[in-house]
Amino acid sequence: MADGEEFLSVIGRASFSGRPLFDRARPLWLSRAPGRLDIMGGFGDYSGSLVLEMPIAEAAFVAVQRSSAPRVRLLSVAAEAGPDRALEFSLDELQTKGLTWAGARDFFGRDRTSAWAGYVGGALTALAEDYAVRPSSGLDVLLWSRVPEGKGVSSSAAIEVAALYALAAVFDVPLDTVGAALSCQRVENLVVGAPCGVMDQMTSSCGIARQLLPISCQPAKLEPGFAIPEGLALWGIDSGIRHQVSGADYHDGRAAAFMGYRIIAERLSMPTEVLAPGRVRIQDDLFGGYLANVPPERFLSELCAALPERMTGREFLERHGGITDVLTEVQPTSTYRVRAATSHPVFEQCRASEFRDRMQGGQGVAEAERLGALMRAAHESYTACGLSSTGTDRLVQLVAEEGQQAGLFGAKITGGGSGGTVAVLGLSSAEAAVERVVRRYATETGHAPYVFTGSSSGAAAFGVLGGRFDGERWRTEGKTK
């Protein structure tokens, strides 16, 4: 793997405060975890939707070595042009401040210069909280990632997963692939402070190259992966508009969905307990707490009319008390698109399920027109939730203008929306049409999009390599899975 060879070169020249980061006489552990391209499901994962994800070729790499010094050194080397980032702290600081979820959030988030380290160092917190492993020796950790940041392809999840797999190997902790993903989701939620669902970490941990990974996010049930049908291909085109899971649009859209769920529970007289201001617990024996389990027919005939199209946070809190989501808060001064955000996971579950069934049905190209229509419907639903952007809308339109005659069938915004990358479905022979979309977009906007074209396996399939340098040559001495 070419990027693996490049990472070995990065390891060889990595330095901290002007001196080599690693001791060549000591063993190293190396891991690799890819980003992901969200094909269907995306924004509904926290409401229990089925999602369909493809691990991309771009990946994050982490190398870890034990140290005799009682300190931890974290180094992030930029894959492209950009500054390297470094953070050093004592082992005692880590043990007293950084090995609980709340402590780690304060420790790594204390200022902007250290916030990046939460994605890597948070894996140490996960080992302590989820596996009862507390480091008793120093560590040197190197991060190098080819997953572009801010493009909505889960650069953060790739880092978290790669870090956890490498550090677990150092401490001889066996990882379950789904359990590892859930631990990394907690890093993102509780250390970094981003209210993401689990699909990103699941794909980075469990994905298989050139397959779509179906995940039922209730909370994290893997279905068997399946190959993209012969004759079809998927691309990701970057809009150039920075995507952030912690951004206001994502936060508001997610909160609005939980507001709608609370109103539905009230409409159906589900027992509810107020836990704290703005927070409730609902006994839901009908849908298991997930909007994705609401039958669309019942939603349309009985429940949709109870949902306001828009509602202020203050009005909601006064009438309904709070929501069940522990990662978002209803802001009194904000206005929320309650009906659209609640509708999205109900119907996205149906769209994603039909997309999976048609792709697995063996018809391939014969199903492409309907598959494209499902993607366009998903994009329209994002737009109704307020999660589109001018750039992603234009890319979807450009793909539609190329159309089936050029071999392109549909496109949609991905992940949490509000910018980032658009997924495109077309014939495998339609590269020229994709290039025309990219050129037109670049001419109109001045931004030359990055195009995601390949796929690679997740961290579990890659395993963790143990070895050391013999002079300038890396020698593998073992591999864990």
Which tens digit of pLDDT belongs to each residue from 45-71?
989 999 999 999 999 999 999 999 999
Catalytic residues: 200
Indicate the domain borders of the chain.
2-37+55-206+456-480
Backbone dihedral angles phi then psi of residue 462, each to the nearest 5 degrees: -70, -40
Q: Record the pTM.
A: 0.94
The answer to whether the peptide bond before residue 148 is cis (omega within 30 degrees of 0) is no
Residue found under tokens 């929501």: 323
Per-residue DSSP letter, 229: P
Residue 245 has pLDDT above 60, yes or no: no
Q: What is the pLDDT of residues 7-37, one digit of tens each?
A: 999 998 899 999 999 998 899 999 999 999 9
Q: Return d(Cα 312, Cα 384) in angstroms, integer.
A: 17
Which of 69-83, 113-127, 199-213, 342-356 bottoms out in mean pLDDT, i.e. has the lowest? 69-83
CATH topology of domain 2-37+55-206+456-480: Ribosomal Protein S5; domain 2 (3.30.230)
Beta bridge partners of 78: 145
In sequence order, the 6+-apart residues with CB closer than 8 A to the CB of 458 are 33, 34, 55, 161, 177, 203, 204, 205, 206, 207, 208
Mean pLDDT of the chain: 94
Residue 289: what are its φ and ψ, rounded to 5°? 90, 5
